[in-house]
Amino acid sequence: MRSLLLTGLILFALSFCGLSERLKNMTGGAPAENSNAATSNTASTGSTSATTIDAAKLTPEQQSIANSGTETKWTEQGLSWILPANWKKMDVKKEQFFYTTPDNASLIVTISVMPDNFPVDTSLTAYYDQALQQLKNGKYESVRMLAIDGVKGVEFTEAMPEEKDGPRRHQWIAYRNYIGQNQQLNVMTAMKGTNFDKHRDDFTAVMYSMKFVD
């Protein structure tokens, strides 16, 4: 049962990544590295240009969660998060990082290596535009451009699913250059809809605690 849940959550996390493949087919490549700075997205393509990038900030309640957590490193990828005590390792590989709680709240991080010539700003704008459309359609409750530890990306939170026991996610997609690779980062926290609000502050505290090693 646990293996089926693991597979389902990972596939769900990756479902939003199809846009990268479509962009790759159109451009003949994949996203180039990002600037690793919280600056405006000036991509010239896409229907929407995101001119403001917020910096990740915790509320006092979320900061308290972070203060009581433990740093958990993904050494191979030079990343770390501060996780509450009851979050346990499920599966960690070269390009996949998966921790979960006893009630199946999850942190799932996937890394995709992209070709050198992929247009990062174009891709981020496309993700942002698609997320805004989902917001308009009522599928998402919030969308914004967000920098975590100086790396810019697209953050979105899904609205309650029609089937309230279905999965609901808080997600951030970004790009970076690391160990000579152009990488897409897909960071997701998820929980079934009925229990999502119970973990909402946990999810934000975990996601915004992410640190990058230069």
Domain borders along the chain are 2-212
Lowest mean pLDDT among 11-15, 95-99, 141-145, 149-153: 11-15
Q: Which residues of 122-157 are buried (b: 16+ CB within 10 A; e: fewer)?
A: bbbbbbbbbbbebbeeeebeebbbbbbbbbbbbbbb
Which residue's structure tokens are 């770390």?
80
**What's the fold here for domain 2-212?**
Protein Transport Mog1p; Chain A (3.40.1000)
To which H or E segment does residue 58 belong? none
Instruction: Give residue-wise pLDDT tens across range 34-66.
Output: 333 333 333 333 333 446 999 999 999 999 999
pTM to 2 decimals?
A: 0.79
